[in-house]
Chains A and B, each alone.
Chain A
Amino acid sequence: MKRIVVDAEVCTGCGICQLVCSVHKTGQWHPALSRIKIKQMPEFGIKVPVVCMQCSNPPCAVFCVMNLIYKDPDTGYTMRREDKCIGCRACEIACPFSAAIMDPIREVVVNCDLCGGEPVCVAYCPEGALLYMDEAEAGDKRRSRLGLKSGEIFPRGECSGRGS
């Protein structure tokens, strides 16, 4: 199943993903309304976006007292019948990733629904830090980049063994 995969090494923390998410979903230009959140750790210079991980047995669904969170049988996305939400925030705490977001205007809790398969945050990310792909595919990509990096550190000829 495809989901939003974050490439933490590339993210600069510009916040464009938060803005396009909020404007696409709520019509308002405010990062607090976004379903993707940039976590910051200034002492390490770390800025990493966190977004719904699309768990296979989502804890938010177990904790929802209105049984409104479900896995879409066709796409496998974690979806909500938002009109039924009473805003009790149980799912917000049950989510280990803090990816269930309280929408203070409508007083409902929402999560990333991948914009129905065309996530706008991925489209607008200027650095390519957000990828919409299979987890396995993203792992391949990460590994091949690490391989290229080690090639830079140990250029041909300096490595011992075959190929030198």
Chain B
Amino acid sequence: MRILIVGNGAAGNQAAVSLRKLDSSCEIVMLAEQNYPNYSACALPDVLAGWIPLKKTFLMAEEDYSRLNIETNFGLEVNQLNLTEQCLQAGELLYHYDRLILATGSQPVIPALPGSELPGNFVVKTPGDIEGILAHGPQQVVVVGAGNIGVETASALKNRGCKVTLVEMQDRIMPLLYDHKPATIIQSMLEEEGIEVVTGDRVIGISGDSQIELIHTQGQDINADTVIWAAGVKQNTHIARAAGLSIGSLGGIQVDTQMQSSAEGVFACGDCVQSFQVFTRKPCLSLLWSSAKRQAQVAARNCLGYLDKYEGSCSLVIEEIMGIPCVAMGLNLEALQGYEAEVVEHHAEDGYFRVLIVEDKIAGFQGVGSIEGAGAIFTMIKKKTPISESKRVLLNRGLIPSMAWYIDSRRYLSSQY
């Protein structure tokens, strides 16, 4: 069997490795536009901070691909997908397939604003971007978008000695992950680190002749020589769209629970798909490393005929700010609109924690501080364990020894403990 994988991000590489683990004889061909072997995009801010060398972000070398007998064609533009002929056109070449895995990923967006084409506008996505930023030698930086990438990049550049301003459009930082209160705590931590945080403001233009000099937001002008755009990504779905695969309402490739797209034998995984949230079962775009890897595992198994089902996306994001871990998992109050969510808050001596409970189940957890026992909470979110059931186990002398790992999580569940 000949399996074609488009894309060499987290999903594409995981799919290739999972396929090879399950089947030693099938032919695996990877095509990708990016000319890099497998690298970890999540580690790029650490490179920017100077904590790790850039070469450490590469996860696989060319020898690893040949050892696994995976044919790689990187740096190749994929033009067209023909579903009836089962072939993919890349440049002049035609690649036939029996099964196809689309892992085309996503692209960071640089909005078309005056000045956004000047040198000094960067995104953080590939090792090339990081090399570009380091070669540019930033002194005064504006990071646009305070999502997890924005916050990590801002923190990293601060560590490098730059003057950093973080601009967020919404009223709080990391609006997709945290509620107002934990976001405010994290914001004050960032400010203590020396990062200027501006919320509820957006960049409307950049001025400068041959280089960036001034960033204009709605409220103020900021002196800067570098702008880092972390204001969201766009799914790369043009190949799928042109081939006539159905595209979901949020702009990702529509897949079923086996990660199969609307065409049989064509699977999709990673940032380019529209999956569903584990708690609400509503469609969502999960743009996280872990979701991409799990989806790729499911796609690879189903591709070879082993039945596997995707259990739904559940976000888990951890940032370390000034050495203090900040964790967000599941949904926040904004994402739980329409549900009656109970908020259980804990101001403990080792941190602030908030658990969101919907219909006796944990829907989300946000914490700043010690993360002991958070792993059990994450499992409860994924498995939708009723809290009454967890408490029954925790209060039962006979049951708890065989499930001792729940002991640390009890402090989050209720203030009675």
Contact = CB atoms under 8 A, between A and B. Distances in A.
Contacts of A39: 404-405, 407-408
A38 to B, nearest CB: 9
B294 to A, nearest CB: 5
A94 B316 contact: yes
A75 B294 CA distance: 23
Given A84-B56, A92-B371, A96-B376, A63 B290 contact: yes
Interface stretch (A44-52, A115-123, A147-155): A44-52
Contacts of B408: 39, 98
B27 to A, nearest CB: 21
B401 interface: yes
A96 B375 contact: yes
Interface string B33-48: 0000010101100100
A89 interface: yes
Contacts of A92: 371, 375
A46 B13 CA distance: 44
Contact of A88 (B14, B318, B376): B318
Contacts of A57: 297
A98 B325 CA distance: 15
A90 B401 contact: no
Interface in A4-37: 6, 8-9
Interface in A85-138: 86, 88-90, 92-100
Contacts of A84: 56, 59
A146 interface: no
Interface in B297-335: 297, 316, 318, 320, 325, 327, 329
B362 to A, nearest CB: 13
B280 interface: no
A88 B56 CA distance: 14
B375 A93 contact: yes
A41 B400 contact: yes
A79 interface: no
A40 interface: yes
B9 to A, nearest CB: 12
B379 interface: yes
Contacts of A44: 397, 400
Nearest to A7: B401
Contacts of A66: 40, 43, 59
B278 to A, nearest CB: 13
B405 A50 contact: yes
B414 to A, nearest CB: 15
Contact of A98 (B38, B327, B400, B405): B405
Given A62-B293, A67-B59, A94-B316, A86 B43 contact: yes
Interface string B369-387: 0011111101100000000
B66 interface: no
Nearest to B394: A41
B402 interface: yes
Interface residues of B, number: 39
Contacts, number: 96
A159 interface: no
A40 B407 contact: yes
B51 interface: yes
B404 A8 contact: yes
Interface string B119-136: 000000000000000000
A95 B51 CA distance: 25
A64 to B, nearest CB: 9
Nearest to B59: A67
A66 B376 CA distance: 23
Nearest to B14: A67
Nearest to B402: A8
A46 B327 CA distance: 29
A44 B374 CA distance: 22
B43 A48 contact: no
Contacts of A40: 407
B352 interface: no
B289 interface: yes
Contact of A86 (B46, B327, B379, B401): B46
A9 B378 contact: no
Given A46-B400, A93-B327, A88 B290 contact: no
A9 B293 CA distance: 39
A50 B372 CA distance: 13
B52 A86 contact: yes
A46 B404 contact: yes
A25 to B, nearest CB: 20
Please list the 9 inter-chain residue pairs (A to B) with the smallest Cβ-Cβ separation, ordered nearest first. Answer: A8-B401, A48-B404, A65-B42, A96-B379, A97-B405, A39-B404, A39-B407, A63-B290, A95-B375
5 contacts: A8-B402, A41-B407, A48-B407, A62-B297, A93-B374
Interface of B: 13-14, 38, 40, 42-43, 46, 51-52, 56, 59-60, 289-290, 293-294, 297, 316, 318, 320, 325, 327, 329, 371-376, 378-379, 397, 400-402, 404-405, 407-408
Given A46-B407, A62-B290, A94-B375, 9 more contacts: A6-B404, A9-B401, A62-B293, A86-B52, A90-B290, A90-B316, A90-B318, A93-B375, A98-B373
